[in-house]
Structure 1
């Protein structure tokens, strides 16, 4: 599988480690930078490119890496068609794929050991989407909102709350 990678200076060490780890484990890494350490670099430059690479390369997945992973996830999610999840455990890596069909994950290079983050990425890459109807429906709602800007309809049980009338209206 092709895996698109982007980071900032705080994620550079993990990204460099992952390039070799991915090759050694039968994957094809695509490095979107940075390529040298620069303490003043800007993560959107590299993370948006990695996310766009995933969208342009059906069947691929992506990993964006920063100090905390938060900004990198936000940057990746600006690319239409990306569902980037912040991962901080094996469980969140599994759920990102199984429930959200995430195609990009973000990890914080200053939050975990290289071994732990490598394991999170390994789990993410190995976990398939369940295609469970409720998960497909929810992803569809988000995609429709991105396209139309129309909010998903409220369930009937929430109608009174939405109108400010409360549950006994």
Structure 2
């Protein structure tokens, strides 16, 4: 799988650990995040990953910041992005099955690294259910985007 990963200064440690894990597992990872503790603006990195996802240069994206909140909000401003902040594997499973989320957001300050790795695995290995009710709801999200973005 080809995955874009991005982060701000609040999550460079987790980004590096998750990136290393994904590469060891055989994924192709495009790193567009920052690599140190110097303060940067998370919307810049959210946009880089979101652009790669919507332009279909990657299969999906992973975003990280201190809490995952700001970076997920920024990513969701890009038309076609369904970024979900997940704090456990149930959320990761359900956002893939029900929402066909294409970007996962995580928080370094709010989620332990082993849990974060489990969330990543769940997100990457859970397919969209293609259920009629879910397709209908995603279409309604797309209609909101068309009107407002």
For normalisation by structure 2, the TM-score amounts to 0.95
Q: Is the 8 A contact 1:3 1:62 kept in 2?
A: yes
- 1:67-93 Cα deviation digits (max 9, x unpaired): 110001001101111000110000000
What residue is the counterpart of 2:143 in the other structure? 144
Residue 54 (structure 1) shift: 1.0
Q: Verify the 8 A CA contact 1:5 1:47 in the aligned structure 2.
A: no
RMSD: 1.2
Q: Deviations over 1:103-159 (max 9, x none)?
A: 00111111121111011001000000000000000000110121134xxxxxxxxxx
Distance 1:59 1:50, change over 3 A: closer
Q: Distance in 2 between matches of 1:4 and 1:98?
A: 20
Determine the C-alpha separation between the residues in 1 that align with 2:120 and 2:100: 14
Q: 1:144 to 1:58 in 2, by over 3 A?
A: farther
In structure 2, the residue matched to 1:83 is: 82
1:31-72, Cα deviation, whole Å (9 max, x unpaired) = 11213331x211111111111111112661111001110001
In structure 2, what is the Cα distance between the partners aligned to 1:69 and 1:55? 20
1:158 aligned residue: none
State whether residues 10 and 109 of structure 1, in contact with CA within 8 Å, keep that contact through their aligned partners in structure 2. Answer: yes
- The answer for unaligned runs of 5 or more in structure 2 is none
> Tell me, what secondary structure is at the counterpart of 1:99?
helix
Q: Which has the higher contact order (CA 8 A, sep 6+)?
A: 2
Q: Structure 1: state its 5+ residue gaps.
A: 150-169
Does the 8 Å CA contact 1:84/1:104 hold for their aligned counterparts? yes
The answer to whether 1:47 aligns with 2:46 is: yes
* Length, aligned pairs only: 148
TM-score normalised to structure 1 length? 0.84
